[in-house]
Amino acid sequence: MWAAAKPEAAGERTPTATRGAEMPASFINDPAHWRQRAEEARTIAEQMSDPNSKDAMLRIAKDYERLAERAEQRGKGSGQET
């Protein structure tokens, strides 16, 4: 009987929920990680010429900044979610 090939072996990716935790929990609680992602998004936005795309990327950067703030709150033991 032939065994089914793993999706990774076939060059396909499985959804994150079924792959397990590829992003360690430490990233989720690391404000520096989210601030780096925000900076990357702002850098990409600077290179965009389409106003709608640029605005969307800047919104993503703001969302990353909010994630950084929430990670800081968790690190301080604050249960207050914004």
How far apart, in whole angstroms, are the C-alpha atoms of residue 57 and residue 41? 6
How far apart, in whole angstroms, are the C-alpha atoms of residue 22 and residue 37? 17
Structure tokens at 58: 């800047």
How far apart, in whole angstroms, are the C-alpha atoms of residue 79 and residue 26? 18
Q: What is the pLDDT of residues 62-78, one digit of tens each?
A: 999 999 999 999 988 86
| pTM confidence score | 0.64
Q: What is the pLDDT of residues 19-57, one digit of tens each?
A: 554 555 678 999 999 999 999 999 999 999 999 999 999
Rounded to whole angstroms, what are the CA distances from 19 to 12, 27, 68, 81? 12, 17, 25, 28
How far apart, in whole angstroms, are the C-alpha atoms of residue 41 and residue 78? 27
Q: What is the pLDDT of residue 77?
A: 80
Other C-beta atoms closer than 10 Å to the C-beta of 23 total 9
